[in-house]
Amino acid sequence: MKKDTHPDNYREVVFQDSNAEFSFLTRSTVRTTETIMWEDGQEYPLYKLDISSASHPFYTGKQTFVDTAGRVEKFKQRFDWEKGKAAEVIDKAEEKRTEKHRKQLEVEESARKEAAERKAAREDRRRKILEGKKKKAQEAQKAKAAEEAAAEKAAAKASAEEAPEKAAAAAEKTAAAEKTAAAEKTA
């Protein structure tokens, strides 16, 4: 094996994308004169990149990429969710969803109101039926009480009419008994 084939400056280097404010730490032999303080508190050599996978959607690893057809702008416009067509599509879909939800809530509310009205009507009918039954029962009780009162009056009248007849019959019996008793005394 040949001597000095491997570079002796293979070290940890921070690569920083100047467009996307994106940086990462890796090992490399790249030559650089700048340094930067990394997140772990140590100072590492810094190499600045023009583009990287963070700043360009079509980055393939080559540093010199010329965007002649405006593909980057088209990509950003297509996938920019805060502006442009994508935001409009999302807003329209959200409006449709909220409108559909609102209609569904209205249908459910009307169904609840209709069910409540049917229940109230059913309760009214039941209450009227029960009131009618109570009235009929009260009328039947009054009629029965009136019949009993009439029967009692009739019985009292009949007993009052029978009383003089019974008294006369009793008087006749006593008179007959007295006569027989007097006849026996004389005999």
- Position 151 in a domain: yes
> How far apart, in Å, are the Cα atoms of 62 and each of 22, 33, 73, 110, 139?
17, 22, 19, 64, 106
- Position 107 in a domain: yes
- Position 24 in a domain: yes
Same domain, 32 and 87: no
Q: In terms of pLDDT, which residue wins out, 90 or 28?
A: 28
- How far, in Å, CA of 108 to CA of 106, rounded? 5
Same domain, 60 and 106: no
- How far, in Å, CA of 70 to CA of 64, rounded? 15
Same domain, 103 and 56: no
**Residue 72's CB: how many other CB atoms inside 10 A?**
15
Count up the domains in the chain and report the number: 2
Same domain, 20 and 48: yes
Same domain, 109 and 155: yes
Same domain, 42 and 105: no
Per-residue pLDDT tens for 44-93?
999 998 877 777 766 666 555 555 666 767 776 666 655 666 667 778 88
Q: Domain span at residue 114?
A: 80-159
Six-digit token string for 59:
């980055």
> What pLDDT, on a 0 to 100 scale, did the predictor assign at position 164?
65
| 47 touches 28 (CB < 8 A) | yes
- Position 4 in a domain: no
Q: Mean pLDDT across the chain, nearest whole number?
A: 81
- The DSSP letter of residue 38 is -
Alpha carbon dihedral 46, 51, 52, 58, in 10-degree steps, equals: -170
- How far, in Å, CA of 83 to CA of 90, rounded? 10
> What pLDDT, on a 0 to 100 scale, did the predictor assign at position 134?
93
Amino acid identity for residue 72 in this structure: V
> What pLDDT, on a 0 to 100 scale, did the predictor assign at position 113?
94
Per-residue pLDDT tens for 121-152?
999 999 999 999 999 999 999 999 888 888 88
pLDDT at residue 101 above 70?
yes
Kind of pairing between the strands at 43-49 and 11-17: parallel
Same domain, 145 and 87: yes
| 46 touches 61 (CB < 8 A) | no
Task: Give the lowest-confidence range in 1-10, 32-41, 56-65.
Answer: 56-65
- Position 48 in a domain: yes
Same domain, 130 and 108: yes
